Amino acid sequence: MTYDLIVVGSGPGGYVAAIRGAQLGMNVAVVERAELGGICLNWGCIPTKSLLKSAQVFDYMKHSADYGIAVEGEIKPDFEKIVARSRGVADKMSAGIQYLLKKNKVTVINGFGKLTADKKLEVLAEDGSKTNYEAKHIILATGARSRELPNLPQDGKTIIGYRKALTLEKLPKSMIVVGSGAIGSEFAYFYSSLGTQVTLVEFMPNILPIEDEEVSKQMGRSFKKNKIKVMVNSSVESVEGTEGDLKVNIKNKKGEIEVHECEIVLSAVGITPNTENIGLEEAGVATENGRVVVDEYFRTNVEGVYAIGDIVAGPALAHVASAEGICCVEKIAGMHVEPIDYTTIPGCTYTTPEVASMGLTEKAAQEAGHEIKVGKFPFSASGKASAAGANEGFVKLIFDAKYGELLGAHMVGANVTEMIAELVVARKLETTGHELIKAIHPHPTMSEAIMEAAAAAYDEVIHI
Q: Under DSSP, is residue 251 helix (H, G, I), strand (E, B) or coil? A: strand
Non-local (6+) Cβ contacts of 95 within 8 A are none
Residue 108 has phi, psi (to 5 degrees) of -100, 125
Distance in angstroms between the alpha carbons of the first and the last residue of the chain? 66
Side by side, the strands of the sheet bearing 159-160 are: 159-160, 264-267, 174-178, 197-201, 229-231
441 in active site: no
**Is 383 annotated for ligand binding?**
no
Q: Give yes or no for a contact between 383 and 443, defined as CB atoms under 8 angstroms apart.
A: yes
Q: Which burial class, exposed, middle or buried, applies to 67 when counting CB atoms under 10 A from its CB (0-12, 13-18, 19+)?
A: exposed
- Residue 335, number of CB atoms within 10 A of its CB: 10
Find the angle CA(443)-CA(449)-CA(455) to the nearest 5 degrees.
Answer: 105
Q: Answer yes or no: are the C-beta atoms of 51 and 190 closer than 8 Å.
A: yes
Residues in the chain: 464
The answer to whether 113 and 122 are in contact (CB under 8 A) is: yes
The answer on whether 322 is annotated among ligand-binding residues is no
Catalytic residue among 63, 410, 443, 463, which? 443
Q: Is 195 annotated as a binding residue?
A: no
Cis peptide before 339 (omega within 30 of 0): no
Annotated ligand binding at 49? The verdict is yes
Q: 186 a known binding residue?
A: yes
Q: Report which residue type is found at 242.
A: T
Provide the 3-class DSSP secondary structure of residue 431.
coil
Per the rule left: phi > 0, alpha: psi between -120 and 50, beta: everything else, 128 is: left
Residue 118, classified by CB atoms within 10 Å of its CB into exposed (0-12), middle (13-18) or buried (19+), is exposed
- Of 348, 363, 354, the residue nearest 407 (C-alpha): 363
Residue type at 327 in one-letter notation: C
Q: Which of 363, 355, 367 has its CA nearest to residue 419?
A: 355
Ramachandran assignment for 389, one of left (phi > 0), alpha (psi -120 to 50 degrees), beta (any other): left
d(CA 294, CA 292) in angstroms, rounded, equals 6
202 annotated among ligand-binding-site residues: yes
Q: Tell whether 156 is in a known binding site.
A: no
92 is in an annotated binding site: no
Helices (H), 230-291: 280-283
Ligand-binding annotation for 183, yes or no, is: yes
Sequence ranges of the binding site: 49, 113, 179-186, 202, 270, 310
Sequence ranges of the binding site for NAD(+): 179-186, 202, 270
Please list the active-site residues: 443
Sequence ranges of the binding site for FAD: 49, 113, 310
